Every structure is written in structure tokens, then in C-alpha cells.
Amino acid sequence: AVTDILMTGPYPEWDMADLEAKYRVHKLWQVDDRDALISSHADAIRAIATRGELGASAALMAKLPKLEIVSCYGMGTDAIDLAYARENRIRVTNTPDVLTEDVADIGIGLLLAVARMIPQADAYVRAGSWRKANMPLVTRVYGKRLGIVGMGRIGKAVARRAAAFDCEIAYFGTRRHDDLPYDFVGNLVELARRSEFLMVTLAGGEGTRNIVNAEILAALGPDGILINIARGSTVDETALLTALESGAIKGAGLDVFWNEPTIDERFGRLSNVVLQPHHGSGTVETRKAMGQLVRDNLAAHFGGRTLLTPVV
């Protein structure tokens, strides 16, 4: 018998081709009446293949009595109701490790882009302004004090890169890592105060919601730059927009937002931000590895084998 799976959003075509060859795939994003699609296949769907930012709510899972597994194309599982999954014996997998280095790369890339004003400089050259005057001077990254918020896999990968820039690295997180040569600062306000750049790499979810608030931004100060490569939910976006508009911080590099992909229009009017469309893991290499891991987890589950990267 063919196994039915529900997808909440598309994957690249190489994954779609493989999934569609192995399963009967129901595509939630292609229909207007989602409830009708779900209810007409509710007794058949045994898996959800989702994405980090789309997740799987308890309401969705509750409509699928045969659901056995939710496989997430992404590391962050904050949009999946893990408690519901646990209670209902639904397995959950994610895609850790394979995306770490690319997400750290974009963190450093955003920091350089904001501080050195790379997009503005590009526009300056294209507009012919260079012929008339030299561009205003920018901010150095090399050797500066970087505060990393969250010292998990991605935080560590950011730190390794920043160490090569001779940055002075300190971090905030759930615990001190005795094996790391960086200063642990258990108070986020304190970390912001002593940092010139703050890079957020924390997991999303209720525990970290708005952890970077107006007080943290004020402590980072008018010469400070904020980078967020984690989840939009970790930063109080209202406070961030106000801080960027008023000059309470110097600038921000953002890969993630509150209302993706329909982000607050005020971001587009700011000249001190560099914006990315949640693309930290968006390289061909990493996305191929993520898709493979999702498919391998599904194959392991339906083949009665041990899951490769279980969360629940």
C-alpha cells in the first residue's frame, strides 16, 4: 500500500521528485480549502513533512488520527507542538548539523554587510556617486567585541569564525561551556553593554520570546549592531524598529522576522539594515543535505529502523 504524507510547504524539486516517487504526497500550500484536503485524507495520512518556519500545530496534528511522524526540513522545531507530539506518541525529526556552517556564514556575512555597508557601497558605485565624492567611512569588524546570544552548534560556529577576525568573544546562554575559551556572561543586558556587536543564534519558542528587548538594545547602544540569524520571535521587533529609526542602535542584519514572509514595511524604509529572506540555510549544498535527512528519517520510520535525528 502507498503511504500518504502531508506537506505544509514545498521542498526543492529534487526532494519533491523523490518524495512523490515513494509516497502519495498531499500539498497543503496548493489548495484553497485546506480543511477539505485534510479531512478527505485524514484516515490515510501517516506523516507530515514540514519546514522550520511552518511547523505543525496541535490543531493540525489533531485532525490526523493516523499521524505517526512529523519530519521537519529545518533545525528549529519551535513551530511544532512538541508537547502534543509527545503526548500522542508522534515522532518528530529535524535537520541539525548539516546547516550549521552555512547559517554561521550568513551571520558573519550580515555583520560585515552592515558594518562595512556593503549593499550601500554597491548602490553608491552603481549610481555613479563615486565619481563625485568618496563614500562616507564605515565601521571596522576586525578585533571588535562580539556578544553571541546562544552558544549551541550555530553559536559555536559563529565564534570560530569571529575568532579568525580576532574578535573578543563573549556569550550568553543557558549555561557556561567550560571547554570554550570565551567569556560566559549570564546576564544579557550585561553582555549587550560590553558588546559592539550582538549576534542572536538562540532557538525560538516561548522560552526565548522577545529576549532581546528595548533594554538590551539600549545597552547595545548607538554604535552597536544587532544580527539575528535565529528566529524573529527572539527579538522584540517593535522595540527593534524604534531603535533603528531613532538611532538607539547603529544597524541590524536580519535573516528572520516576526511575520515572515510579510515583514513589517518599516524595515524597507530603513537605510541601516541589511535584510535576508530567511536564507541562512539556503545554499544548494545544505538544502540538499537537509532534504536527504528528511527523506532518510521518513524512510527509517516506515522501514522500522532507528530515526537518524529524532527530537521526539
Binding site for ligand 8YV (CB under 6 A): 51-53, 73-76, 99, 278, 281
19 vs 99, which CB is nearer to ligand 8YV?
Answer: 99
Q: Please, what is the minimum distance in Å from the beta carbon of residue 190 to ligand 8YV?
A: 28
C-alpha closest to that of 146 among 114, 110, 171, 113: 171
Q: Is 116 a catalytic residue?
A: no
DSSP single-letter state for residue 208 = G
Q: State the angle between helix axes of 13-22 and 284-302 in degrees (0 to 180), rounded to the nearest 10.
A: 10
Q: Please, what is the minimum distance in Å from the beta carbon of residue 125 to ligand 8YV?
A: 31
Q: Please, what is the minimum distance in Å from the beta carbon of residue 252 to ligand 8YV?
A: 18
Please check whether residue 9 is in contact with residue 51, taking contact to mean a CB–CB distance below 8 angstroms. Answer: yes
Instruction: Report how far residue 108's alpha carbon sits from residue 173's, in angstroms, rounded to the nearest whole number.
Output: 19
Which residue, chain included where needed, has cell 565564534?
A: 159
What single letter denotes the amino acid at residue 220? L
157 vs 185, which CB is nearer to ligand 8YV?
Answer: 157
- The string of DSSP letters for 18-31 reads HHHHHEEEEEGGG-
57 vs 120, which CB is nearer to ligand 8YV?
Answer: 57
Which of the residues 26, 161, 278, 287 is marked catalytic?
Answer: 278
74 vs 155, which CB is nearer to ligand 8YV?
Answer: 74
Instruction: Report how far residue 203's alpha carbon sits from residue 155's, in angstroms, rounded to the nearest whole number.
Output: 11
Q: Please, what is the minimum distance in Å from the beta carbon of residue 99 to ligand 8YV?
A: 6
52 vs 107, which CB is nearer to ligand 8YV?
Answer: 52
Q: Please, what is the minimum distance in Å from the beta carbon of residue 282 to ligand 8YV?
A: 7
Q: Is 41 a catalytic residue?
A: no
What single letter denotes the amino acid at residue 60? L
Q: Is 193 a catalytic residue?
A: no
Which of the residues 26, 231, 287, 301 is marked catalytic?
Answer: 231
DSSP single-letter state for residue 247 = T
Instruction: Report how far residue 123's alpha carbon sits from residue 277's, in angstroms, rounded to the nearest whole number.
Output: 20
Virtual torsion, Cα 117, 138, 156, 103, nearest 10 deg: 0
Task: Point out the residues that are catalytic.
Answer: 231, 260, 278
